[in-house]
Amino acid sequence: MSEQILVTRSSMPTMEEYIEEIRPIWESHWLTNMGEKHEAFQLELQKYMGVPNVELLTNGHMALELSLQAMNLQGEVITTPFTFASTTHAIVRNGLEPVFCDIDPETYTMDVTRIERLITDRTCAILPVHVYGNICNMEEIERIAHKYELKVVYDAAHTFGETYKGRGIGNFGDASCFSFHATKVFNTIEGGAVCYRDPEMGRRLYELKNFGIHGPEEVDAVGANAKMNEFCAAMGLCNLRHVDEEIAKRKVVVERYLEHLEGVEGLHLSRPQPEVRSNYAYFPVVFDEKLFGASRNEVDDALAKNGIGARKYFYPLTNTFECFHNKYDVDETPVALHVAKRVLTLPLYSDLALEDVDRICKIVLELRR
């Protein structure tokens, strides 16, 4: 039997490159608390993303949670249930109420035609999610936000390295939050970042991630501990040197998938978005059982039997989680529910062999009836 293929595989530099990057840590013994690697990585990240301000954090969830906290919000936040648990939990853990907006059936991002009908006098923000590398309709979201004086925080975990109309994706909204988890296109092992506009927000983020400490004898706020350590920052410095090459390799894998699956009846694939430089983060397929002849679950089972790990991503919807039992009406987001029951992300990473892509597609297509 062939070696198991996982849905993703972490990009890593050579061991030699990483060892050279962390060697100074052994000399300084400075392991965390905004050391030399942290500061260097933050600067390089700011340049690569083309953004005015970046704050590094221990993971993408804390980027979301502390961004909302830094804004001192109260009330309702319009968001999407078609996302990872982190998005919804960041809202709830701030004492805010998520209000779920349905998604666009093509991009799987927030359906902007439904946002205004969800706005009430308690609405304080919109938290849209860029999905699979597909970006939200940011112009319309920000038009609505400006009209109703709402904050906008983007969950940009899937869009590192992307640009829209030549601008880095972190330049949009009041804040854009990124995950550098090991499974992402770009990773720091664990890590996250917030790109933001207002320098005051940067000051708040810093104090929130560092216990509210501003000096050896100055603690003027109540904060958490969400600092990125030096080893993660060092991995970020290494991986940042190679990220464009990694994205180019992912593009080749995606193009091979498309050669096999594009135009197959009953398979809905994501289309390239105009004026977006993609990072090829995921390869989602939505299966129409009636037209294709096999369900998403049957395809998933067949791949698993052959040692291939796909993922029902995102399933279940966050508004159906047991921790929110009977609190939200899933029928209010029918498109999201339809997609969640049928979507499967196929394996995608930079060094996935094209022969393995061929084998994955063969298994999928043999299920047609």
Give the tens place of pLDDT for each residue, 32-43: 999 999 999 999
Residue 68 sits at the vertex; the CA angle it makes with 62 and 71, to the nearest 5 degrees, is 135
> 300-315: per-residue pLDDT in tens?
999 999 999 999 999 9
The answer to whether residues 81 and 319 touch, using CB atoms and an 8 Å cutoff, is: yes
Q: Are 191 and 287 in contact (CB under 8 A)?
A: no
Give residue-wise pLDDT tens across range 246-273. Answer: 999 999 999 999 999 999 999 999 988 9
Residue 216's pLDDT is: 85
Q: Is it the case that residue 2 has pLDDT exceeding 80? A: no
The mean pLDDT of 51-69, rounded to a whole number, is 98
Is the model's pLDDT at 1 over the cut of 50? no
To the question of pTM greater than 0.85 for the whole model, the response is yes
Q: How far apart are CA 89 and CA 308, in angstroms?
A: 30
Q: Amino acid identity of 295? A: S
Task: Tell me the three-class secondary structure of 203-254, residue by residue.
Answer: HHHHHHHECCEEECCEECCCCCECCCCHHHHHHHHHHHHHHHHHHHHHHHHH
Q: How confident is the model at residue 3 (pLDDT cuts 50, 70, 90)?
A: confident
Per the prediction, the chain carries an average pLDDT of 97
Position with higher pLDDT, 179 vs 326 = 179
* Dist. CA 42–CA 53, nearest whole Å: 9
What is the pLDDT averaged over residues 173-192? 98
- In three-state secondary structure terms, 225 is strand
Any idea how long the chain is? 369
Each residue's pLDDT tens digit, 315-347 = 999 999 999 999 999 999 999 999 999 999 999
CA-closest candidate to residue 156, choices 167, 143, 148: 167
Chain segment 90-120, per-residue pLDDT in tens? 999 999 999 999 999 999 999 999 999 999 9
Average pLDDT over residues 161-185: 98
